A = this chain, B = another copy of it.
Amino acid sequence: MARPQTDIEAGRKLLIETVDQLVRQRGAVDISMTELAAAAGMSPANIYRFFESKEELLQAIAENWFAENIAIMEEVVASDLAPRDKLFAFFARRFAVFMARFAAEPEMFKSICQLGAEHFEVIRGYVDLGDHYLAMIVAEAMHAGYLRGFTIDQSVSLINQMVFCYCNPDMLIMLEGKLTEEKLSHIIDTIFAGLAAQPNDAQLANVHQIHS
């Protein structure tokens, strides 16, 4: 008889929590499925009832780590904020979550980032999802007359580059004290006031005032 689904869920939860504890204790060292089973008090064979492969386990850990971020992105995209405020909230709220996690457990945060870098194939989908939501905000902004002359992809790439320090956890660690919500707000304002492949007359006048 197949085990009930709730039992599977409980086993998965236990294993994810055990990985969390092991990373907290040892840092981002590679953990084998056998070691993990032992640490969770399971037989090596038993663990595969909950996760068919290490890949599947890593996916579940990433899902856990990104759940709050995804909820924020969905909420912001669905909100009726103006495009400028929506773009700001899109980055600022996730930046605040990262900073809070880093402040609470700096070593754990670094270990998780290192694990992410080592298993980037597991994270790629979340990066792409972020770009997908960003593209939705960009489309709204373009509809409202901003970002003139760029395609959605070009805008997404340029915006990602300009706010890169506020999205990439490694940058948060490296630049910690230099990153503030106020500066991020100025950067978003700059994007809305200035980013355009076909600038309007006022923008052109500003860029070229020195020549006139």
Determine the chain B residues whose CB is within 8 A of the CB of A208 once the complex forms: 84
| Contact A210 B158, beta carbon cutoff 8 Å | no
- For residue A192, which residues in chain B have a CB less than 8 angstroms away from its CB? 194, 206-207
Q: Which of A156-212 contact B (CB under 8 A)?
A: 157-158, 161-162, 164-165, 171, 175, 178-179, 183, 186-187, 189-197, 199-200, 202-211
In the bound complex, CA of A84 to CA of B202 (Å):
16
Smallest CB gap from A149: residue in B? B186
Check if A136 is an interface residue, CB within 8 A of chain B. Answer: no
A206 in complex: contacting residue of B164, B165, B193, CB < 8 Å: B193
Please tell me if A8 contacts chain B, counting CB pairs below 8 Å: no
Given contact pairs A162-B187, A178-B157, A199 touches B193 in the complex (Cβ within 8 A):
yes
Are the CB atoms of B193 and A196 closer together than 8 Å?
Answer: yes
Report Cα–Cα, A158/B188, bound state, in Å: 11
A161 and B190 contact, CB distance less than 8 A: no
Q: A178-B157, A183-B157 are in contact. Are A206 and B210 (CB under 8 A)?
A: no
Known: A158-B190, A194-B195. 6 other contacts (CB 8 A): A146-B206, A157-B183, A161-B179, A161-B183, A161-B187, A193-B207
User: Is A190 touching B186 in the complex (CB atoms < 8 A)?
Assistant: no
**What is the CA–CA distance of A206 and B84 in the complex, to the nearest angstrom?**
10
A82 within 8 A of B: yes
Q: Which residues of B contact A202 (CB under 8 A)?
A: 200, 202-203, 205-206
